[in-house]
Amino acid sequence: MQTEKIKVNSKGKGLVKVLNETERFASEQGYEKKYALHLRLLAEESLNMLRSLTGSFQGEFWIESQKDRCIMTIQAKAEDVPAKKRELMALSKSGENIMEKGVFNKIRAVFESFAYNVERSENWELIKEGMNLMPYDETLANDPLYFGSSGISQSQVWSLMKYKENVKHEADSNPVARKAWDELEKSIVANIASDVQVGVAGDKVKLVIIADFKK
């Protein structure tokens, strides 16, 4: 099952419709109350992330199911890219700590970095712990977990699951990683979602939240 694709933007368009559609999806999938609440929380957090982005974004939101797996997607395109890229680069060079606390704020920073091609945080080296390379394969273009752009042999994809694995591995020897691991352990989203992935799909940036909910 897949919901309709709902038009959303960084000014809050589509919020009510998204939440209503999320509840309808959970009901039709037969999720117990706990999972229905988790799904709504993930929808709210993903839209809050979209609204907190630097600049203006237009996109679509939808949810689909694969057996016990639920896949939530926001695919959006930035507007006025050159001006916002200059703004983010200026902030990055100023040395200002623009990486707010919280797992979803780190995800937001990754989303913006793909949208504007800017490494925008003093913690970027740590965030890179979640990066993967994905080969381009046109036959997978309709797979919700596929990222790629025609003409590009490999695309970068950020994965929360990989980030968690690498941060945990470094936590004993790296104080910054230890702090990041403590943050992950306290994060509701990081504990609900099986993975959160961010990457480029064509001319858009794509956020995919994966959750495994038993019916």
Report how far residue 58's alpha carbon sits from residue 10's, in angstroms, rounded to the nearest whole number: 7
Q: Which amino acid is at 161?
A: M
Alpha helices in the chain (DSSP H): 15-29, 33-51, 81-94, 103-116, 124-127, 160-170, 175-186, 188-192
- Average pLDDT for residues 91-120, to the nearest whole number? 73
- SS3 of 91-115: the string is HHHHCCCCCCCCHHHHHHHHHHHHH
pLDDT category at 153 given cuts 50, 70, 90 is very low
pLDDT category at 200 given cuts 50, 70, 90 is confident
What's the pLDDT score for residue 70?
92
This prediction has a pTM of 0.85
The domain limits of the chain are 6-210
What's the pLDDT score for residue 123?
62
Report how far residue 92's alpha carbon sits from residue 172's, in angstroms, rounded to the nearest whole number: 28
What average pLDDT does the chain have?
83
- Average pLDDT for residues 79-88, to the nearest whole number? 78
What's the pLDDT score for residue 98?
46
What's the pLDDT score for residue 71?
92
Whether the predicted pLDDT of 67 surpasses 90: no
Q: Which of 128, 120, 129 is nearest to 98 (CA)?
A: 120
What percent of the chain has pLDDT above 90?
44
- Average pLDDT for residues 76-81, to the nearest whole number? 87
Helix, strand, coil percentages, rounded to 5, for the chain: 45, 25, 30
Lowest mean pLDDT among 23-37, 46-60, 72-86, 109-123: 109-123
- Average pLDDT for residues 24-30, to the nearest whole number? 94
